[in-house]
């Protein structure tokens, strides 16, 4: 009967790739290789391999047998003979693992509660690396004749370090459309000519990166960060791993991140800064390896200890870790939810970190010691609330110590980033540094349809970039630092005109309210900036009036039910929809939001409380050594390869066993990067 | 009392700059200079000057006197003494003109029908030019002490020709978001890696251009085309002029276009191609000069005769004019609406043009003669209808001859553009050529919320670019041709997931239908492309299935009432809304559109039948000589200056009086451009 099985599931191969639900992303056939077909690697980059053989026992792919445990797996460099993985990597064969999982083939199956059962036989290989550039064929044979092949490419990148430092700014969810809107409300224009520009606008190199996931065309921030940091696209919710089907959320095959490689190979220093809770996906993906971004406690532990459940990169912690999310640091006695209920403030302190909890302490911190700065419970305050509506910081009981007080004295992205540079610059000496600085709440406020706050966060990011350039110049480090500004995905945002908010409120009829919208010749000019001759002598660019009569007619393409009055939310971040039937998650217009505005039903499933990510390519702005690598249109993974190339991290001739003191890769000679391009 | 007047209107200056309505764009004070403050010029570029002194007689700016007819106007190069315009340009002083106009100060005034009256005194100077780079101050003095100053910049651009030819592709309304969506439905991806890319993606240089108008932040296609072609931003609906307040639509101060300058200064040949009716704004702005883009007859006349009501550039017509809009060519006896009821087919024929009316004739046309190709009444057929649903071409009675037959054998943008290149290349010899090729219906279909047809048009544009590169290579002209691809404005479009159209239709309840939307991990991969191993051996990239079960969850941020089912419209372009009360223009959901879908009310004023333009910066892709001029972020006008620089059109030392035979500008030597950068 074996041949019949083969014929059956060969014919069905591909059915497992439904749209709404998938049996397992990147595995349309019944034999799965992770990393899958089309994976790219940096020479020497650590990674794991997961092999799975699937036996669907019911549903459209059903076969009448258990999963094949006698599958074989080989690797072959292009032109060479296949070798077993054991021979190829000189490792022992791992044990067979087995498990079951279920999935729904589509929404009808979900409604009928008829899941499909899949039995799995699997092996996993841990911490491998390939140092020779070229094409490799990974081949999984199973069910007596079926084969899944994956072509892998180890990119041929020269081992020449061109930058001492890299700072990667991520505007989470930031699109070109948002930059355009932010420019409009913060920069003065006379007769169609801007009198000042965004700092991003002045970058010499512009690129676009494609953000889609490996197995879906819309990404979340976990797997997009994984792509940016590892050169490997992954699955929604996955951090630094390819998502397998096993029940264990920590056994998925890992890929080494730019932070880990940089630290391991060069001994370079790492800084992590975010305005989100610091266990959030974008910072987490630098050191965490799990397919579940919700494992916040483990994420915090990984910052300090790296990966401990399997052999992995030796990691001794970042020099700087600044952000929110205090609840993942203190234990349950203070209301926290820390890993194993430990006191992570104490853990970091014991590891030599100075601890800072507010901006005053941050400014006073030593530049010579590692620093952990946690400034609030949950996400940090938004620029608009800190600077324009500070009363909104009161009463939140979000003090990072868990005292129950309010976190009033919070730094912004600029203050955190400049301090991070000071510390990294002082501590790294000739090793150089890598900083990731995230404007997280561009995304969070776009989710909430709070366009004004999102644009405020974007302008704060731009102000941070401007201050960073000045800081690097003052440290004489600008020419040896690659500065990248990009995003991890978009939101479908744009502006289509203006709103006469006075007229809107004066109309009673919903249809007549729509007449308040001015498009084309009636859109006018921005009233958020001063129109007189007053100069922006302080050199910072934010709106001078967040509540003009004529506001931006702005929105997103997909949202829950909402009421729009296109006025700034002075009482704090917007909550467009509320749950009418919590048992069912049925979100309707928040009766307290946008009073006097126009009610618009959404098209998102009614269990959505807020907006969602979008497809659009996002911009990349590059300045400094290697800037030329970042022009044009490319995949998100190319950001990783560009940074790795610029830092000289390709280990073509080494053994991938660097410990921070090895410099067995070519092109580096102490201060070699000091002679890079201007 | 004079001093009181002065004090009064000085205090009020700026009030005329309301948002929804403006007294006059670019003129917030009572003295107006066109070109206004911040205008940039190419050395030698022709332009006109309009001066206006306003006397608002009622409303918030009211003054108690008639407009000052004794105003004075001077010009001064930076560092030099002011001269009267008459001395500066060695011209005679024009006559004083006077007129009145009215405007509404805001929507309340409109509702109350209380217009504000403005009396005007004015002068206009025609066909001027400045050849010396530098800053100039234009100063208008009026009302015995008030002054309006404008700073003008004549850019210092070297007179070195680096490109023989320029082809400017305009995807009307095309954004990065749309390119991303088009890539997704037409290009196969395996595990997150595209197996092919858009031709645009492969361009070496990427830029963003800011599209806003001179006096409003949302542009239309007329004044955005003016910015791209003349280096001067203008007002909505204006073509090649600064919009003044006079009743005459043809007396506004003009600015010379890239086509006119190229033809005048170098004798270069021009081709104009569009899928719109050829009198539409984007092609029209190459030769027309009027503040009313709706003057279609005059636009057609300007293609052939140039500007005839005032002295202007000598213009002898483009070598190629291809598009739709036959109704502006034949007279009223055939149902046409041509200029002065003339037969413009005969006019063009008499001027030496071969006439072609369908693709067969186009392909058979001689490459040695000028060609007028008009292929349909109104806009040309869409790629999707021509190629996938050809039945939709039947019964439209849009034959370009006015016969009442159907225009079935229409060329696409690719066929028109390749033929244009053949003709221009054969005819221009060493003079070189400039072609503008417009994918007009990206915009027109986005307006109609017909996302699929819009993306089809975008893919046809990309296919045209690909074929153009191959054609230029075959003609050995690729290295001497600058290829630019950009847009003139955006629509607020994006994709946020997928739609299970089968599930959507199976639900009765509007809220339950929303469950058909899949976001993030449920968005899946594109089902528009083949998922098997079939190769795209023909090298063209369009969806293989426009009607998969799982479609794109796509939309725009601003629209009329509509019903969305996210399925391709097989019966022809979408009409989302219909006029429920034609006397009042009250558009509601088209009961025939999107049956079975989700009804969503819009937020646009209810007199809108379709979507509108948006704010976003749009991409610029550049390849060829001077490509480096087009990286980064800049204004739309910089496209003009880049093209002019590359073609060596800056006439710094000349007199601006070139007639096509003068080559008194430096850096050119017959085949000088043949040695430009590769």
Residue A543 and residue A491: Cα distance in Å, rounded?
22
Structure tokens at B317: 């017509």
pLDDT, residue B15, reads 47
Band (pLDDT 50/70/90 cuts) for residue A538 is: low
pLDDT, residue B3, reads 34
Q: Does any domain span residue B617?
A: no
Q: For residue A678, is pLDDT > 50?
A: no
Q: What is the mean pLDDT of residues B392-399?
A: 98
Query: Are A502 and B588 a contacting pair, CB within 8 Å?
Result: no
Same domain, A233 and A109: no
Q: What is the 3-state secondary structure (H, E, C) of A5-16?
A: HHHHHHHHCCCC
Q: For residue B9, is pLDDT > 50?
A: no
pLDDT, residue B530, reads 67
The pLDDT tens digits of the residues spanning B63-90 come to 999 999 999 999 999 999 999 999 999 9
The pLDDT tens digits of the residues spanning B277-307 come to 999 999 999 999 999 999 999 999 999 999 9
Residue A370 and residue A433: Cα distance in Å, rounded?
13
Main-chain dihedrals φ then ψ at residue B59, nearest 5 degrees: 80, -170
Strand partners, B563: B599
Cβ contact B612–A497 (<8 Å): yes
Q: For residue B8, is pLDDT > 90?
A: no
Structure tokens at B469: 């590169």
The pLDDT tens digits of the residues spanning A554-596 come to 999 999 999 999 999 999 999 999 999 989 899 999 999 999 9
Best B17, B19, B563 residue to mutate vs chain A (most A CBs within 10 Å): B19
pLDDT, residue B516, reads 97
Band (pLDDT 50/70/90 cuts) for residue A547 is: very high
Structure tokens at A578: 């509320």
More confident residue, A21 or B678: A21
Same domain, B280 and B426: yes
Cβ contact A493–B557 (<8 Å): yes
Same domain, A211 and A149: no
The annotated binding site of A is made up of: 172, 280, 282, 438, 443, 447, 488-489, 613
Domain housing A79: 2-154
Name every chain A residue with its beta carbon within 8 A of the beta carbon of B228: none
Q: For residue A654, is pLDDT > 80?
A: no
The pLDDT tens digits of the residues spanning B133-161 come to 999 999 999 999 999 999 999 999 999 99
Cβ contact B554–A557 (<8 Å): yes
Q: Does any domain span residue B609?
A: no
Which residues, numbered 620 to 639 in chain B, qualify as contacts with chain A under a Cβ-Cβ cut-off of 8 Å? 631-633, 635
Give how many domains chain B has, as a whole number: 3
Q: What is the CATH number of the domain that holds A247?
A: 3.40.720.10
The pLDDT tens digits of the residues spanning A254-310 come to 999 999 999 999 999 999 999 999 999 999 999 999 999 999 999 999 999 999 988
DSSP for B391-414 reads GGGTT----TTSSS----S---HH
pLDDT, residue A600, reads 95
Q: For residue A514, is pLDDT > 90?
A: yes
The residues of A annotated as belonging to the active site are 221
Residue that is written with structure tokens 């309009």 in the block? B50
Average pLDDT, chain B: 92
Q: Does any domain span residue B145?
A: yes
Same domain, A103 and A238: no
pLDDT, residue B186, reads 95
At A445 the three-state DSSP class reads helix
The pLDDT tens digits of the residues spanning B256-268 come to 999 999 999 999 9
Q: Does any domain span residue B176?
A: no
Name every chain B residue with its beta carbon within 8 A of the beta carbon of A557: 492-496, 554-557
Q: What is the mean pLDDT of residues B602-614?
A: 97
Residue A661 and residue A669: Cα distance in Å, rounded?
13
Same domain, B529 and B501: yes
Q: For residue B676, is pLDDT > 60?
A: no
Best B203, B498, B521 residue to mutate vs chain A (most A CBs within 10 Å): B521
Q: For residue A501, is pLDDT > 70?
A: yes
Same domain, B480 and B424: yes
Same domain, A307 and A450: yes
Residue A164 and residue A668: Cα distance in Å, rounded?
11
Q: Does any domain span residue A272?
A: yes
Q: For residue B2, is pLDDT > 50?
A: no
Q: What is the mean pLDDT of residues A151-160?
A: 96
pLDDT, residue A17, reads 53
Q: Does any domain span residue A552?
A: no
Band (pLDDT 50/70/90 cuts) for residue B393 is: very high
CA distance A404 to chain B (A): 35
Q: For residue A242, is pLDDT > 80?
A: yes
Same domain, A107 and A57: yes
Residue A596 and residue A563: Cα distance in Å, rounded?
8
Residue B526 and residue B530: Cα distance in Å, rounded?
9
Same domain, B270 and B341: yes
CA distance B556 to chain A (A): 5
Residue A455 and residue A165: Cα distance in Å, rounded?
28
From the centroid of its chain, how far is CA A653? 31
Distances from the Cα of B501 to the Cαs of B119, B182, B453, B564, B567, in angstroms? 59, 20, 18, 11, 7
Q: What is the mean pLDDT of residues B205-219?
A: 97
Q: What is the mean pLDDT of residues B537-562?
A: 90
Band (pLDDT 50/70/90 cuts) for residue A530 is: low
Closest Cα in chain B to A204: B632
Cβ contacts below 8 Å, chain A against chain B, sum to: 384
The pLDDT tens digits of the residues spanning B463-511 come to 999 999 999 999 999 999 999 999 999 999 999 999 999 999 999 999 9
Distances from the Cα of B511 to the Cαs of A489, A606, B597, in angstroms? 28, 7, 11
Predicted ipTM of the assembly = 0.95
The pLDDT tens digits of the residues spanning A321-342 come to 999 999 999 999 999 999 999 9
Which residues, numbered 16 to 45 in chain B, qualify as contacts with chain A under a Cβ-Cβ cut-off of 8 Å? 17-22, 25-26, 28, 36-40
**Is residue A509 less than 8 Å (CB to CB) from chain B?**
no
Same domain, A76 and A204: no
Q: Spot the catalytic one: B221, B338, B441, B498.
A: B221
End-to-end CA distance of chain A: 68
Residue B274 and residue A251: Cα distance in Å, rounded?
57
Band (pLDDT 50/70/90 cuts) for residue B19 is: confident
Average pLDDT, chain A: 92
Q: What is the mean pLDDT of residues A85-110?
A: 97
Same domain, A329 and A383: yes
| Strand pairing category for A116-128 and A189-190 | unpaired
Q: What is the mean pLDDT of residues A650-667?
A: 50
pLDDT, residue B18, reads 59
Q: What is the pTM of this model?
A: 0.95
Q: Does any domain span residue A517?
A: no
Band (pLDDT 50/70/90 cuts) for residue A19 is: confident
Closest Cα in chain A to B602: A600
**Is residue B534 less than 8 Å (CB to CB) from chain A?**
no
Band (pLDDT 50/70/90 cuts) for residue A248 is: very high
pLDDT, residue A653, reads 73
pLDDT, residue A1, reads 29
pLDDT, residue B414, reads 98
Helix H or strand E segment including B428? helix B413-428
**Is residue A524 less than 8 Å (CB to CB) from chain B?**
yes
Cβ contact B218–A191 (<8 Å): no
Q: Which of B220, B524, B555 sits opposite A558 (nearest CB)?
A: B555
Cβ contact B20–A498 (<8 Å): yes
Please identify, among A97, A132, A154, the residue that sits at the C-terminal boundary of a domain: A154
pLDDT, residue A12, reads 37
Same domain, A137 and A201: no
Q: Does any domain span residue B626?
A: no
Q: What is the mean pLDDT of residues A193-204?
A: 97
């Amino acid at each position: 009967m074996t041949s019949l099985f083969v014929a059956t599931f060969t014919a069905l191969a591909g059915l497992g790739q439904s749209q709404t639900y998938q049996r397992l992303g990147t595995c349309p056939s019944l034999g799965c290789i992770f990393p899958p077909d089309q994976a790219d690697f940096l020479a020497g980059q650590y990674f794991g391999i997961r092999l799975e053989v699937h036996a669907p026992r019911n549903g459209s792919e059903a076969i009448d047998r258990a999963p094949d445990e006698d599958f074989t797996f080989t690797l072959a460099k292009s032109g060479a003979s296949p070798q077993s993985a054991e021979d190829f990597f000189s490792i022992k064969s791992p044990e067979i693992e087995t498990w079951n999982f279920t999935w729904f083939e589509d929404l009808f199956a979900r409604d009928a509660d008829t899941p499909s059962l899949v039995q799995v036989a699997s092996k996993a290989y841990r911490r491998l690396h390939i140092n020779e550039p070229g094409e490799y064929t990974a081949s999984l044979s199973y069910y007596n004749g079926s084969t899944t092949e994956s072509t892998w490419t180890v990119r041929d990148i020269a081992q020449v370090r061109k930058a001492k430092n890299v700072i990667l700014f991520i505007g989470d969810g930031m699109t070109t459309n948002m930059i355009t809107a932010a420019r409009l409300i913060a920069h003065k224009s006379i007769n169609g000519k801007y009198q000042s520009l965004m700092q991003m606008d002045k970058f010499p190199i512009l690129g676009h990166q494609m953000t889609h996931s490996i197995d879906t065309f819309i990404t979340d921030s976990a797997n997009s960060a994984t792509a940016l940091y590892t050169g490997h696209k992954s699955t929604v919710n996955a951090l630094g791993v390819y998502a397998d089907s096993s029940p264990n959320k920590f056994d998925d095959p890992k890929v080494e991140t730019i932070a880990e490689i940089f630290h391991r190979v060069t001994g370079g220093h790492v800084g992590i800064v975010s305005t989100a809770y610091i266990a959030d996906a974008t910072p987490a993906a630098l050191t965490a390896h799990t397919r579940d971004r919700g494992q916040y406690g483990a994420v915090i532990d990984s910052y300090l200890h790296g990966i401990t459940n399997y052999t992995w990169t030796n990691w001794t912690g970042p020099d700087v870790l600044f952000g929110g999310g205090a609840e993942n640091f203190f234990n349950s006695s203070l209301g926290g939810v820390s890993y194993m209920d430990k006191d992570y403030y104490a853990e970091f302190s014991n590891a030599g970190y100075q601890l800072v909890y507010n901006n005053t302490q941050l400014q006073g911190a030593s530049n010579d010691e590692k620093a952990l700065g946690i400034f609030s419970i949950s996400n940090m305050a938004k620029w608009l609330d800190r600077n324009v509506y500070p009363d909104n910081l009161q009463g939140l009981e979000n003090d990072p110590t868990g005292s129950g007080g309010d976190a009033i004295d919070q730094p912004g992205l600029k203050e955190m980033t400049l301090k991070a540079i000071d510390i990294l610059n002082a501590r790294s000496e000739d090793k150089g540094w890598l900083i990731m600085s995230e404007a997280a709440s561009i995304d969070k406020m776009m989710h909430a349809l709070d366009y004004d706050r999102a644009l405020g966060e974007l302008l704060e990011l731009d102000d941070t970039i401007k201050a960073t350039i000045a800081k690097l110049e003052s440290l004489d480090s600008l020419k040896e630092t690659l500065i990248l500004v990009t995003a991890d995905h978009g939101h479908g945002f744009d502006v289509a005109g203006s709103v006469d908010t006075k007229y809107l409120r004066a109309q009673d009829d919903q249809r007549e309210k729509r007449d308040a919208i001015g498009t084309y010749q009636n859109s006018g000019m921005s009233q958020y900036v001063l129109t007189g001759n007053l100069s922006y002598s302080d050199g910072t660019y934010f709106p001078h009036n967040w509540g003009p009569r004529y506001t931006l007619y702005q929105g997103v393409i997909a949202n829950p039910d909402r009421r729009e009055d296109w006025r700034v939310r002075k009482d704090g971040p917007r909550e467009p929809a509320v749950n009418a039937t919590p048992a069912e998650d049925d979100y309707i217009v928040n009766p307290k939001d946008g009073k006097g505005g126009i009610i618009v039903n959404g098209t998102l499933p009614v269990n959505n409380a807020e907006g969602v990510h979008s497809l659009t390519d996002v911009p990349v702005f590059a300045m400094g050594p290697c800037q030329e690598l970042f022009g044009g249109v490319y995949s998100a993974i190319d950001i990783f390869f560009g940074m790795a190339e610029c830092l000289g991290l390709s280990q073509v001739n080494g053994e991938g066993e660097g410990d921070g003191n090895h410099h067995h890769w070519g092109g580096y000679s102490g201060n070699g990067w000091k002679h890079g391009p201007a």
